[in-house]
Amino acid sequence: MRGFLRSKVRVLTASSPTISPPDQHYDDLANRLRSIGQRATPQRLLVLAAFQDAGEHLTADEIYARISERSPTVNRSTVYRTLETFRDLGVIAETDLGGGVRRYQLLDHERHHHLVCHDCGDIIDLDDDVLEPIRRAAAERYGFSAEIDHLAIFGRCQFCRGDE
């Protein structure tokens, strides 16, 4: 489990305060955004609300559609930019599950990953512990902090391997 708002965003100039603790619900979303030097705009709160209402693995367009129902003036670009910001902040994870569309999900629970079969399209959940060796190697060899929040690994499942 990780903090809700993890790190500073690229262009943040002032020093970033430390991260709010994990495991809380988002009653005070606005304050959390402010606490890391981010503005709490209605558009951003709408994006977060959309995630809370809906399930996982939303596309940008699905989020935009949900928001438009309540606030028709919110722009598509803003949704994309907000998603980019939240991704950089570690609030959400971005994944390309194939099919040419990226999907997003809140990072408020255990990270998980997917094995995607490019023959039959089947998607298998993969526990996060499998990625520990990579994080460790990146840190030990290069001092690099790998932020692998929601990885999609392509390949072929056991059934399609048998088809050859």
Across 108-131, b (16+ Cβ under 10 Å) vs e yields beebebbbbbeeeeeeeeeeeeeb
| Residue 33 touches which member of DNA, a copy of itself, none, C-beta under 5-8 Å by kind | DNA
Shortest distance in whole angstroms from residue 133 CB to DNA: 29
Contact between 57 and DNA (CB under 7 A)?
no
Shortest distance in whole angstroms from residue 130 CB to a copy of itself: 4
3-class DSSP assignment, residue 65: helix
> Residues 64, 76: contact at Cβ < 8 Å?
yes
Binding marks (x or -) toward DNA, 105..144, rule CB under 7 A? ----------------------------------------
Nearer to a copy of itself, 67 or 116 (CB): 116
* DSSP annotation string for 32-54: HHHHTT----HHHHHHHHHHHHS
* Contact footprint for DNA (CB under 7 A): 11-13, 30, 33-34, 38-44, 59-61, 73-78, 80-82, 84-85, 99-102
